[in-house]
Amino acid sequence: MISDDVNVWLIIGVLALGTFISRFSFLGLIGDRELPEWILRHLRYTAVAVLPALIAPVVLFPPATNGEVDPARLSAAIVTLAVGVWTRNVLWAIILGAATLYGMLYLTGGFG
């Protein structure tokens, strides 16, 4: 749960502004100027660089199981990744990943 001390609206406001600035940067502010190639080269990898770092610790050591490696969550993660790489389809990856999670939770008695 998010603690009461977190100023959620501050986060929403700054995130909204910052995201808009990213989107408006060239169209509105910088205009028709070529981006230096080295900047483009790094920007290409922002999403695949940040998102795995965010979830790797949670996948291997889920807080929900007090940091113990959990077969249900780990296999769900592997299935999601495999289906995503194979089919290139985000939706199928989520559906089959979730199905694996609930199937394994059911089998290992993690439900209720």
Partner 1 sequence: MSSTTAKSTYLQGFRDGLPFLLVIAPFGLLFGVVGTEAGLNIAEVMGFGVLVIAGAAQFTAVQLMVEDAPTLIVLATSLAVNLRMAMYSAAMVPHLGKARLWQRALVSYSMVDQTYALADQKFQDETAWTLTQKLRYFAGTVTPICSTWYAMTYVGAKLGSSIPPEYALDFAIPITFLALIAPALRTLPHVIAAATSVVVALLCMNVPYSLGIIIAGIAAMIAGAQAELMLKKERAS
Site for partner 1 in 53-92 (CB under 8 A): 53-64, 72-73, 76-77, 80-85, 88-91
Candidates 6, 36, 68, 109; binder of partner 1 (CB under 8 A) is: 6
CB of 108 to partner 1, least distance (A): 12
Q: What is the end-to-end Cα distance of the chain in Å, rounded?
A: 19
CB of 8 to partner 1, least distance (A): 5
Binding flag, residue 24, partner 1 (CB under 8 A) = yes
CB 73 within 8 A of CB 60: no
Got the DSSP string for 24-55? Answer: HIIIIII-S-PPPHHHHHHHTTHHHHHHHHHH
- Local structure of residue 9 (DSSP, 8 states): H
CB of 107 to partner 1, least distance (A): 14
